[in-house]
Structures are given as structure tokens and as C-alpha cells.
Amino acid sequence: MSRYTNRKKAINNKEMYDELFEKRGVKSIVQYRSPKARYIGDEELNKVDCIEYVWSYGDDFWKLATQYYGDPNHWWVIATFNRKPTPDHVKYGEKIKIPKSLSDALQVIE
């Protein structure tokens, strides 16, 4: 399941984008709305059984999501559980958590 599945959409037809619309040959653009971030406390995160993983050179959230979940699109689950918005926020040798069950993790964070 994509993280965009339940996202609200908005139609952007503001005058300030008229030049862009003209280049694209459209009158408006449908965009995904920014989600409202919900803080997930330690108590909730600790309900999910996780694997401890040591971050090393060449690692990336999407690579780990592919390895553990078979889908790179779930990179954000690992990022969320570690409160690291991007791989650049993880230091080499740092221990991170990877939820064992994707469905359990999604129940907690969605």
C-alpha cells in the first residue's frame, strides 16, 4: 500500500501558476495535500516487535524496506520508527529499529 493511498488531493488553479499551466497545456493541477504529522510516542512504537540493525556504508531506507518488506515504497515506515526523516540523519554504526511486521507497524503509525 502506498503512503499516498489515503491522502487528500487539492486542485491548484491559482493565477500565479498560469504560465506553468500554459506550458503543460492544462487549466489546473491536482496535487496531494501535505499530511498532518502526528507524533507517535515511545509507548506506541514499543508495541511493535523490531529488529535491531546497525547502519553501515551504502545503507538507505528504501534498500532496507526492499530487503525486509519486499517493497521500497515502505521506506518511510523505517524512517518513522527511528524518527529520522532522511538517511542523512543516521550515522554509520548507529543502531536503528526495523519493524518485523509491516502490518503491525502500519497500524501504529497510520
- pLDDT tens by residue, 57-76: 999 999 999 999 999 999 99
- Asked if the model's pLDDT at residue 40 lies above 90, the reply is no
54: its cell numbers: 546497525
Is residue 86 within 8 Å of 30, Cβ to Cβ? no
Q: So what's the architecture of 42-109 in CATH?
A: Roll (3.10)
Residues of the chain with CATH 3.10.350.10: 42-109
Say what percent of the chain tops pLDDT 90: 65
Arithmetic mean of pLDDT, 84-92:
95
Q: Which long-range contacts (CB under 8 A, 24 or more apart) does 54-61 make?
A: 54/93, 54/94, 54/95, 54/96, 55/90, 55/91, 55/92, 55/93, 55/94, 55/95, 55/96, 56/92, 56/93, 57/92, 59/87, 59/90, 60/87, 61/86, 61/87
Q: What is the pLDDT of residue 8?
A: 85
